């Protein structure tokens, strides 16, 4: 009797790339619920539209590259890219913003680099940064939290109309719907020599320890991130190092001068800090392989976020910091390995 | 006694599948008609047959002797006639054949007279080692290293800790578990012998905490001795030698070193029982406990099996279904290898036959690109970077894979097991190791050729100088020995010529 002789191991865990990616999407749900609660339907519409665009681009590129469609379309990676990008852009962005960003992320940043597993840069962040530097007006028109929009309640159909039709509900102007983000406001006002306390207490967009609504969205992402840690989809190294890097910097300057530098807590719950720490910087494809490498990578992202937020030209910096450190990943991998069992151990003979 | 335990990096929790095969007490497998005994059943040199076709052999009689230092003899597991000596399929993933002695059993199962040795405490370690060597005992845990060598720590080496490995961390396999349950006193007696040979200071029997019955039996047997029976947490591969040393002692076996380099020696519990039988009763290693299990087996269980028994006999004994057999493994699902055929025999290192149906192993899924998720690195019990190793092995960059410590890989399969992309990582490491060994052999061959060539040039050169030396010597002999008459004549001629020359110059000078 002749039998097949495949190589060991002869058992396999049920996990697959798809299940890993889907868990990332599930973990985003608490933050998304908070997002919809505070900012309305815009983000959901953006996400759905981005998913359609991402899968369409992925399919077209796979077909052109003669790759099998089914395993790669169902691997969930395009889905994750689409959702992360859609979360990152302003909720009322016109549809073509989402289209351009997603298409660029999938076609240029992912597929032209070789597709799943081969991209050097986080595709969602490449798409985001492209939009940010190409369309600064649209990308900085952030919707105000719903409770600050007093003139009109923004329903699903209204939002759909704004995003795809470009029109606004009767009697409403865009600047009534939008506002500068808390990070942006703070930055501008500090430059005008106002103290942090003064700014936060006089501007209604600030909440308890971050932006109004934004702090709860961040808390939602934190919850999802902790679930990812619990499920071992991600390791603690990058999030902890990144948060540590950012908080460390924030703490130093806060202690030195609390008038001009907001508290570490504000940094933690503002902008994309927690989304970035758990969902973006942890993208394994573009992060270093060793644990020590990941600690360094995460910490430097945190430091860069603080530096750009505080002294740079953009109010938030997670996307830039991640992309800059993506650049450093090969170098970190080249120099930092893990200590192999028994290496460095002394012989007794 | 509570002993402090340490942790090693990674490892995976696997579905154990141990229950299936532990319901029945261990029975002897029926005597097979034919025993096929490969001459190579252990690491090291093959044994060399000392019987010929037609010879009558008795149970326990040596039929092949150890050739070389790292080698072990083979004994007849039952009485009968040697009917063939030649190449037969052996348990090896390559499916190649290798030299075997085939014995047709006569059913009498008649022992050869056995030599007992009396009180082992009166024997010195080298005599003990000799008995164990002559009994053909090799490590029964899997690798099959001749045991007597591990009983010789070498001059000046102190053994602090003797570890008896009963961890048995692979799923499905329960033969060590059953052995500890049923023959704990034998094992403890064997431990005493091994300890005597090694002069070990402390002595630990380790087993996973999923074997409470074996633990109780071992504790009972060890009562009154200072042998510690220690339960270690159930995580694969806690039974790996380096992992177990770390868990029990907190020390790390140096990379490309051995446990003895930090004063530790490890033996399998089955080996200890075999050592006891050899020293106490003079019995060579001719049988072992093994597990026959898997979804394809009607009555999974453990049997005491004669070495050389064809696998098919055991499958028949336990009830199998050839129609639904998906793969047949020797060893466990993580490190065992798939047998090319059911006609191969059981050898000394066979601890398990695992007959899997398609539902035992997950259906084949497509291999996806590596997403660098790092699950492999988290699972690696030696703390390697499996994805980097894969990357460089895939690119055939053999220098790089060595830089990433390929040879520290113990091929436990944890990385492949957890890989969400379904990449057969271990397969690539084996491939890379084989390539490097081939290159190394190639290099050695080239080196040998170069040495041969240089030696030839040297010889030619030497012959030339020798010839020249001989030549000048002859010349000197010719000029320096004026004894014979022709030489006096020559000398006279030379003298005359010199005189003539002097005269000519005188005349010239006068002009």
Percent of chain A at pLDDT > 90 equals 57
CB contact under 8 A, B372 and A287: yes
Both tokens of B110, joined, read 């008649």
How does residue A6 score in pLDDT terms, banded at 50, 70 and 90? confident
CB contact under 8 A, A290 and B377: yes
* Cis ω before B237 (30° cut-off from 0): yes
Q: Which residue of B has its CA nearest to A346?
A: B254
Using CB atoms within 10 Å of the CB of residue B486, give its burial: 0 to 12 exposed, 13 to 18 middle, 19+ buried.
exposed
More confident residue, B65 or A176: B65
Of the candidates B480, B460, B461, B482, the residue with the CA atom closest to the CA atom of residue B472: B480
Q: Measure CB to CB from residue A6 to each of B14, B338, B382 and give the nearest one.
A: B338
Q: Measure CB to CB from residue A289 to each of B327, B385, B418 and give the nearest one.
A: B385
Phi, psi (deg, nearest 5) at residue B274: -65, -40
Round to whole Å and give the CA distance between B275 and B100.
25
Both tokens of A141, joined, read 């028109």
> For A258-268, what is the mean pLDDT?
89
Distance from CA of B370 to the nearest CA of A (A): 6
Residue A196: is its pLDDT beyond 90?
Answer: no
* Predicted-complex ipTM score: 0.86
Query: Which chain B residues are Cβ-neighbours of A340 within 8 angstroms?
Result: 255, 382-384, 405, 408
In this prediction, residue B155 carries a pLDDT of: 82
Round to whole Å and give the CA distance between B443 and B448.
8
CB contact under 8 A, B338 and A10: yes
B250 in A contact zone (CB under 8 Å) = no
B397 in A contact zone (CB under 8 Å) = no
Query: Which chain A residues are Cβ-neighbours of B8 within 8 angstroms?
Result: 341
The strand ranges marked E within B149-194 are 161-165
B244 in A contact zone (CB under 8 Å) = no
The strand ranges marked E within B300-388 are 301-306, 327-330, 337-338, 352-356
Query: Which of the residues in chain B have pLDDT under 50?
Result: none
How does residue A141 score in pLDDT terms, banded at 50, 70 and 90? confident
3-state secondary structure of B138: strand
Q: Measure CB to CB from residue B372 to each of A5, A9, A285 and give the nearest one.
A: A285
Query: Which chain A residues are Cβ-neighbours of B334 within 8 angstroms?
Result: 8-11
Distance from CA of A107 to the nearest CA of B (A): 18
Round to whole Å and give the CA distance between B178 and B24.
9
> Which of left, alpha, beta for B358 (phi over 0: left; psi -120 to 50: alpha)?
alpha
Round to whole Å and give the CA distance between A112 and A54.
14
Q: Within the 277-316 window of chain A, which residues sit less than 8 Å (CB to CB) from chain B?
A: 284-285, 287, 289-291, 294
> For the CA atoms of chain A, what is the radius of gyration?
22
Phi, psi (deg, nearest 5) at residue B284: -75, 170
Distance from CA of B396 to the nearest CA of A (A): 18
Both tokens of A346, joined, read 């002394």
How does residue A348 score in pLDDT terms, banded at 50, 70 and 90? low
A116 in B contact zone (CB under 8 Å) = yes
In this prediction, residue A122 carries a pLDDT of: 95
Query: Which chain B residues are Cβ-neighbours of A232 within 8 angstroms?
Result: 375, 378
How does residue A192 score in pLDDT terms, banded at 50, 70 and 90? confident
In this prediction, residue B359 carries a pLDDT of: 80
Distance from CA of B247 to the nearest CA of A (A): 12
DSSP string covering B256-314: T--GGGGTEEEEEHHHHHHHHHHHHH---S-EEEEEEESTTBSS-EEEEEETT-BHHHH
Round to whole Å and give the CA distance between A189 and A202.
11
Distance from CA of B105 to the nearest CA of A (A): 24
Round to whole Å and give the CA distance between B3 and B203.
12
Percent of chain A at pLDDT > 70 equals 95
Q: How far is CA B161 from CA B6, B98, B123, B259, in A?
A: 15, 38, 21, 10
Q: Within the 135-194 window of chain B, which residues sit less than 8 Å (CB to CB) from chain A?
A: 156-157, 171
A74 in B contact zone (CB under 8 Å) = no
Of the candidates A160, A74, A140, A73, the residue with the CA atom closest to the CA atom of residue A111: A73
CB contact under 8 A, A347 and B254: yes
Round to whole Å and give the CA distance between B314 and B303.
9
Exposure string for A301-322, b = 16+ CB within 10 A, e = fewer:
bbbbbbebbbebebbbbbbbbb
Query: Residues in chain A, how many?
Result: 349
Place of tokens 């009396």: B118
Q: How many CB pairs under 8 A join A and B?
A: 186
- Best mutation target among B373, B392, B421 (most A Cβ atoms within 10 Å) is B373
Residue A99: is its pLDDT beyond 90?
Answer: yes
Distance from CA of B227 to the nearest CA of A (A): 24
Of the candidates B144, B74, B113, the residue with the CA atom closest to the CA atom of residue B286: B74
Q: Within the 148-177 window of chain A, which residues sit less than 8 Å (CB to CB) from chain B?
A: none
Please state the separation of Cα A342 from the chain's center in Å.
39
Distance from CA of B183 to the nearest CA of A (A): 31
CB contact under 8 A, A341 and B171: no
Q: Measure CB to CB from residue B374 to each of A9, A15, A235 and give the nearest one.
A: A235
A65 in B contact zone (CB under 8 Å) = no
Both tokens of A55, joined, read 């899968």
CB contact under 8 A, B254 and A346: yes
Both tokens of B462, joined, read 């030497």
Query: Which chain B residues are Cβ-neighbours of A6 within 8 angstroms?
Result: 327, 338
């Amino acid at each position: 009797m002749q039998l097949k002789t495949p190589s060991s191991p002869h058992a396999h865990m049920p996990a697959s790339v798809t299940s890993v990616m889907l868990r990332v999407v599930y973990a985003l749900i608490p933050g998304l619920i908070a997002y919809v609660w505070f900012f309305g339907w815009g983000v959901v519409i953006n996400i759905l539209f981005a998913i359609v665009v991402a899968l369409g681009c992925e399919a077209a590129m796979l077909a052109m590259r003669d790759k099998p469609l089914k395993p790669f379309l169902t691997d969930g990676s395009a889905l994750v890219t689409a959702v992360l990008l859609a979360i990152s852009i302003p909720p009322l962005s016109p549809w073509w913003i989402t289209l351009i960003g997603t298409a660029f992320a999938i076609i240029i940043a992912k597929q032209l680099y070789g597709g799943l597993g081969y991209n050097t840069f986080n595709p969602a962040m490449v798409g985001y940064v492209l939009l940010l530097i190409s369309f600064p007006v649209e990308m900085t028109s952030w919707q105000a939290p719903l409770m600050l929009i007093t003139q009109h309640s923004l329903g699903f159909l209204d939002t759909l109309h704004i995003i795809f039709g470009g029109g606004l509900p009767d009697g409403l102007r865009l600047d009534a719907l939008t506002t500068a983000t808390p990070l942006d406001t703070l930055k501008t006002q500090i430059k005008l020599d106002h103290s942090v306390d003064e700014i936060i207490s006089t501007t209604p967009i600030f909440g308890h320890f971050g932006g109004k609504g934004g702090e709860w969205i961040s808390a939602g992402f934190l919850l999802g991130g902790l679930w990812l840690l619990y499920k071992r989809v991600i390791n603690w190294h990058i999030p902890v190092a990144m948060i540590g890097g950012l908080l460390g910097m924030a703490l130093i300057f806060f202690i030195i001068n609390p008038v001009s530098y907001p508290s570490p807590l504000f940094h933690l719950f503002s902008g994309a800090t927690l989304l970035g720490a758990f969902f973006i910087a942890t993208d394994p494809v573009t992060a270093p392989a060793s644990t020590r490498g990941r600690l360094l990578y995460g910490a430097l992202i945190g430091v860069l976020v603080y530096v750009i937020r505080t002294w740079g030209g953009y109010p938030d910096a997670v996307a830039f910091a991640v992309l800059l450190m993506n650049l450093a990943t090969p170098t970190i991998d080249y120099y930092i390995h893990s200590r192999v069992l028994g290496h460095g151990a002394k012989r007794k003979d | 006694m509570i002993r402090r335990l340490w942790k090693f990096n990674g490892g995976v929790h696997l579905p154990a599948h141990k229950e299936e095969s532990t319901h029945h007490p261990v029975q002897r497998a029926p005597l097979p008609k034919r025993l096929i005994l490969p001459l190579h059943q252990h690491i090291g040199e093959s044994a060399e047959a000392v019987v010929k076709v037609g010879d009558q052999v008795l149970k326990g009689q040596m039929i092949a002797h150890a050739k070389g230092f790292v080698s072990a003899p083979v004994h007849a597991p039952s009485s009968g006639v040697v009917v063939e000596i030649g190449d037969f399929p052996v348990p090896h993933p390559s499916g190649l054949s290798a030299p075997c002695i085939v014995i047709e059993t006569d059913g009498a199962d008649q022992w050869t007279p056995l030599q007992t040795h009396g009180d082992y405490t009166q024997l010195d370690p080298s005599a003990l080692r000799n008995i164990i060597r002559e009994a053909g005992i090799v490590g029964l845990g899997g690798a099959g290293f001749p045991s007597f060598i591990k009983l010789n720590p070498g001059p000046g080496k102190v053994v602090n800790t003797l570890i008896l490995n009963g961890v048995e961390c692979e799923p499905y396999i329960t033969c060590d578990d059953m052995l500890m349950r049923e023959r704990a006193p034998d094992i403890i007696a064997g431990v005493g012998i091994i300890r005597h040979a090694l002069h070990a200071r402390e002595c630990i029997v380790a087993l996973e905490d999923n074997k409470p019955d074996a633990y109780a039996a071992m504790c009972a047997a060890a009562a009154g001795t200072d042998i510690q029976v220690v339960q270690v947490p159930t995580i694969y591969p806690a039974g790996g030698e380096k992992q177990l040393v770390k868990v029990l002692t907190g020390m790390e076996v140096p990379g490309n070193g051995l446990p003895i380099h930090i004063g530790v020696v490890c033996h399998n519990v089955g080996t200890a029982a075999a050592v006891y039988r050899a020293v106490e009763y003079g019995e060579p290693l001719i049988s072992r406990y093994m597990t026959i299990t898997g979804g394809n087996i009607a009555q999974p269980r453990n049997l005491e099996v004669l070495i050389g028994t064809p696998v098919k006999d055991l499958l028949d004994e336990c009830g199998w279904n050839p129609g639904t057999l998906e793969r047949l493994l020797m060893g466990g699902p993580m490190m065992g290898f798939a047998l090319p055929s059911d006609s191969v025999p059981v050898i000394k290192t066979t601890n398990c036959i695992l007959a899997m149906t398609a539902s035992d192993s997950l259906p084949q899924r497509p291999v996806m690109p590596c997403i660098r998720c790092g699950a492999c690195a988290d699972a690696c019990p030696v703390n390697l970077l499996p994805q980097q190793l894969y990357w460089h092995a895939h690119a055939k960059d053999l220098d790089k894979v060595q830089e990433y410590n390929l040879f520290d890989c113990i091929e436990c399969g944890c990385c492949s097991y957890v890989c969400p992309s379904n990449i057969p990582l271990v397969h690539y490491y084996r491939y890379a190791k084989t390539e490097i060994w081939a290159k190394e052999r190639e290099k050695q061959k080239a080196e040998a050729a170069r040495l041969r060539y240089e030696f030839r040039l040297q010889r030619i050169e030497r012959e030339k100088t020798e010839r020249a030396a001989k030549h000048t010597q002859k010349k000197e002999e010719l000029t320096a020995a004026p004894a014979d008459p022709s030489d006096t004549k020559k000398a006279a001629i030379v003298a005359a010529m010199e005189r003539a020359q002097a005269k000519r110059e005188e005349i010239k000078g006068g002009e």
